[in-house]
Structure 1
Amino acid sequence: MAATCLVVMGVSGSGKSTVAELLARRLGWVFAEGDEFHSAANVAKMRAGEALTDADREPWLAALRDWIGEQADAGRSTVVTCSALRHHYRDVLREASARVRFVHLDGSRDLIAERLGHRKGHFMPPALLDSQLAALEPLVEGEDGIRVDVAHTPEEIVAQVVAYAV
């Protein structure tokens, strides 16, 4: 069976890291935090409250795609966090040799903004939420993925994803 990569996607504050770590643990798959693949320049830009451009994101997406492919080529399935807001970004990730499937963590702006307000120590400021929501292109028919409401607990979300993906 070919390796699979579950990309846990959504705007900042949707719970990607929490859900992805739980998923990886539950499935026994390798986990990667997509934010760790950003360049220092991208992180500095986001810390300053400046939204990334597509050009800023291209090397980041390529690095994630390459990592997913390396893991798949070694026979390892993975769980990765990545905002993957646009169809084009997801197309880049799908170029990996794994079966890339998307888990879109979606919810109301108010709920996500509230969560961002309580988050500590992250470089992504709450002020960028609106720009992320404006950039978001939800999954469409034909994309290998599932939308999950973030109003559920992380454990409930993981149960939904496992039922879908395995």
Structure 2
Amino acid sequence: MDKLRRVLSGREDNEELGLTAQVLDGSSLSFSTRVKWFVICFAGGILCSILGSALLFLPGSGIKLFAVFYTLGNIAALSSTCFLMGPLKQLKRMFEPTRLIATIIMLLCFVLTLCAVFWWHKKGLAIIFCILQFLAMTWYSISYIPFARDAVMKCFTTCLN
């Protein structure tokens, strides 16, 4: 709707942007379609994570399947918000100063989980990185809720004292 208003008022400032920025910024999806795909992608991510947790108990390659499905599930859940706000805005918000550390730890844990399973063959380390993935995703997610991090920190300091 904003794009239509800009075009009709003669303020089309997208000409200064490159082609890539225009494609990433503009989308022809309606709001209801964006919400539907957000739900589909988020639910798929949760399903992958649950499936990965169930596959953990398979003998042999269960830990590998767990690490892959759990990591893919978290990536899908994280990517689902691209449908709501667009990929470029999502990346900008991920790397804002308030989320920078959580984002880096989360992305690092994604990579380290897969490295621990496929290259280092350390099952315990893979599970530790999956736990760290969960904690980093949680910390990252609550950063979108105003004062939620402060409340969590206050709760933990109260419990520890």
Note whether the superposition's TM-score is higher than 0.5: no
**Larger % of strand: which?**
1
TM-score, length-scaled by structure 2: 0.28
**Larger % of helix: which?**
2
TM-score, length-scaled by structure 1: 0.27
